[in-house]
Chains A and B, each alone.
Chain A
Amino acid sequence: MTTCDLKSHIVDSGFYSNGYATSEVRTIFCDIYRYQRWLDVEAALAVTQAELGIIPEWAAEIILEKAQLKYLDLNAIREGIKTSSHSLIPLLCALRTVCPRDAGQFIHFGATTQDIQDTAQSLEIKDVLDIVERDLVQIINRVSVLAGKYRDTVTIGRTHAQHALPMTLGLKFAVWLDELWRNYERLQPLRERLLVSQLFGGVGTMDAFSEQGINLLAKFSEKLGLKAPNTAWHASRDRAAEFLSVMAIISGTMARIANEIRCLSRNEIGEMEEPFKMGKIGSSTMPHKRNPEMCEQAIVLARLIKSNAALGFEAMINEHERDYRAVRLEWVTIADSSHFICGQLSIMKAIMEGLIIYDNTIRKNVDNAATFISTEALMFYLGTKIGKQTAHHVVYEICMEAIESKKPVLDLLLKHPEIEGKFEREELIETIDPGRHIGLSKELTDLTINAVSANMQKYSPVTISERICPLKNTGGACEVKR
């Protein structure tokens, strides 16, 4: 069993995988990599136990040497799982088989299955968080550049999908930037809380580790680069639920940005467009089509990730000291959400990198909308002479009349009994110039760019080393294309 013949999950599709995951994240959850990680955890356990004199040193040396998936009989493991219905023992049996001098007797000495699998899961999550953090930083940097570049570009602010007031495009990007930054910040405490080992035995009492248990846990954790938790978390799954929630929040931010780009790329608005290059096909029957499909895919992934977050809460409800009905949900949700978030971030990086901004259309749209989107300013200006509430009433009436009759607002306004004779056309034209009513758009943009940039200085960038297939050079072809 060195290749997988059937690949029915979309993340493993030879054709569509890239829309849902990246090769990089698939090397975390691929079952071959995953089994090697379990073996690494078992080896770390044996070595630590030898250091503490719990098992003989010679045995630990053999286990460490043989705990390589390439030495094990994968078919035997697969058959063993079918027969035993146990998720770990067949792997351990295969390891034992290849250990000389019966060193295999000292494998998994006092641990419970979930100790190994949960510890490995923490290591997997750590790798996922590294990718997420790296990609978030790249997106943050790019959006920061965009915010600076479009700091002064006046555009239409919209509420209820209707024109509201003028603002700058830079400010729109700055709001994204701030949200992106908060997501980055969320990752830090997440690492603190989540990245812990598990080594407490059958019901969390460390019964099989004797008085060495707590010391063993500390050294074992240190060896794996994880923190040692105070108590077992076999049935305490808030960490996984938090991971899934934070991934849902991050993907939600991405989906909101993607949706905004999709909305603004409607033909009738035409202010932005996701990257386009010749060869990208929008329709199989309408040659003119250019569709925002990357944005749409980012939203699809957010919806999937969001659903998994709900399952994370479901998996928190565990009974007694262990409950597989809850924990086994995580085998699906954590892998899926990790695949999807990394796939989504990779799409978002490409979108932000090549985002097309149509300055001319933005200007044209603002000019067309000028009278309506500056009504707040108009109201305040008129209010100086006729009172603000009266002005709201007058401007509302005039606007509704203008929408119905298609007559220019100012023409109608200057004839209104409350206004006639009190104001000149020129002063009103000046009053409604959208560029004059962007409030503190520019200042807020600067402030956000600077704050995010200062905050980013506090953290050092993550480095990600390439994962090598555990079966490489053994003749076992691996399906993961790097």
Chain B
Amino acid sequence: MNAHPIDFEINQHVFSTAELNSIFDERTRYQRWLDFEASLAGVQAELGIIPTEAALEIKRKAKLEHIDLEAVHSGYQKSRNSIVPLLNGLKAACQQGYGEYVHYGATTQDVIDTSEILEIRDTLQIVYRDLRAIEAQCLGLAERHKNTPMAARTHGQQALPTTFGFKVSIWLGEIRRHIERVKHISSALRVGQLSGAVGTMAALGPRAFEVAQRTLKSQGLEYSPLAWHTSRDLIGELSSVFSLVGTTCAKIANEIFQLQKIEIGELREPSGKAASSSTMPHKQNPVICQRIVALSRHVRHLSGTIMESLPHEHERDARCLWAEWLAVPQLCIYTGTTLNYTLNVLSGLNVLEENMLKNLYVQKHFIVSEWLLFRLSHTLGKMAAMDKLRDLSKEAREGGKSLKEAVISDPVLGELLGVEDISMLDHPERYIGQAVKIVEQTVESIRQQRAADCEEV
């Protein structure tokens, strides 16, 4: 039975990827918990806390294949603890009573929190890799299209000319900041958990610090004497970073969705042979872009849930903890899937330069009204020119005239400006300010930063 779309097997991987699912797969997680227990026992044997034979036996049996999962399953029907039935399974698998030394002084949350950190770290590698791949795609787009003119829009209305490469440069800035955020959060999120029921390490014995340090080290993690059972700020920070990452993807996807409108037709997500509608044969829908927007909404709301779950009460608060434990796998899977989709869309993005240029002329010269404003400011003064042009724009619009016609036939402006002077009106693609230089600087700066990136975080 697969009731959650993350796990669907027929319409597979719409809201997940195989790679991300494998991190959070139930059996993988149980094995991760068992690995923790085996390491703990090993360290405790080294320090003489439990018999060496016990640790060896626990290590041998701490494999899912040795555990009676049927028994664990029925254990979970009776127990309300998240881990005890699995530990009972391990205990039962161990011979000569060595199972008594399983989970010796740890608390449930030590195991699951440590496992959560490992899962988050695996996810962070994917997020980092894909963000950098997206950045590489955007670098290519920015360079290829640094001179490709198009309309810039504010309030959904055409504002001034820009270039597509410039638009992509803005994306590049955001993505690079995310990469730095991911590096930062990854350097902080590497501390495991092993401090016993209320964080005092009471049952871990006099050598508790060594036990914790060595056990967590064996899991590839660092150790802190301070328990974070009820201090979940780093998980909160992670969810904020993922929200930011997902939202940038959604912003890019929404831009493509908007610019794919038939009347605009400047960008199109790659569609291959995919059919979009069951009843309208002509349709080419921006399906992947819409999935990105939908997924990122979930990411933001999961982040809200995690933030809600930060104020833990006393030394343990399951109401907060369980909300977080439920949210984190979805948060990671949705964020990773969003990035995967974004990478696919950008890798095959269709840029329809012809339509971009065509749309610059939709408004019959109005798009360069600002140029005209500054051209006239010298003689009329900027405020007076603004008023004049605003009136002229309205008249021209209502009379169905172009701005150029209106300017030439205007008694005041016609005198001031010759045909040569207003040639810019016929070439809005020239009024792009410093766009090309900004793209070049951005690309150069990001290339330098990429060179300093490490392979993994």
Contacts and interface: CB of A to CB of B under 8 A. Distances in A.
Given A292-B157, A379-B281, A287 B261 contact: no
B369 interface: yes
Contacts of A293: 155
B283 interface: yes
Given A160-B290, A162-B285, A278-B394, A267 B280 contact: no
Nearest to B359: A268
Contacts of B373: 285-287
A268 B263 contact: yes
Interface stretch (A143-151, A240-248, A368-376): A368-376
A233 to B, nearest CB: 24
A293 B151 CA distance: 19
A378 B281 CA distance: 9
Interface string A254-297: 00000000110111110000000010011101111111110010
A395 to B, nearest CB: 4
Given A267-B363, A268-B261, A395 B282 contact: yes
A396 interface: yes
Contacts of B391: 278
Contact of B389 (A164, A267, A287, A392): A287
Contacts of A237: none
B281 A161 contact: no
A365 interface: yes
Given A162-B284, A283-B159, A399-B282, A288 B260 contact: no
Interface string A96-111: 0000000000000000
A396 B263 contact: no
Contacts of B258: 161
Given A268-B263, A269-B261, A379-B281, A287 B393 contact: yes
B394 A267 contact: no
Given A262-B156, A290-B157, A281 B390 contact: yes
B157 A396 contact: no
Contacts of B275: 396
Given A269-B261, A375-B281, A375-B282, A283 B290 contact: no
Contacts of B359: 267-268
A290 B290 CA distance: 29
B334 interface: no
A286 B370 CA distance: 5
B262 A263 contact: no
Contacts of A159: 277, 283, 285
A392 B84 CA distance: 57
Contacts of A163: 262, 282
B281 A162 contact: no
B257 interface: yes
- Residue among A159, A160, A403 facing the most chain B CB atoms (10 A cut-off): A160
Nearest to A266: B156
Given A285-B373, A287-B393, A288-B366, A266 B264 contact: yes
A293 B157 CA distance: 11
A292 B284 contact: no
A163 to B, nearest CB: 5
Interface string A61-99: 000000000000000000000000000000000000000
A242 B420 CA distance: 65
A160 B389 contact: no
A478 interface: no
Contacts of A161: 257-258, 260-261, 286
Interface in B252-276: 257-258, 260-264, 275-276
A400 interface: yes
Interface in B336-394: 359, 362-363, 366-367, 369-370, 372-373, 385-386, 389-391, 393-394
14 contacts: A159-B285, A160-B286, A161-B260, A162-B284, A267-B359, A268-B158, A268-B261, A289-B154, A289-B157, A292-B155, A292-B157, A372-B262, A375-B280, A376-B281
Given A288-B393, A291-B154, 14 more contacts: A164-B283, A266-B264, A267-B362, A268-B264, A268-B362, A269-B263, A281-B390, A287-B370, A289-B154, A292-B156, A375-B281, A376-B279, A379-B279, A396-B282
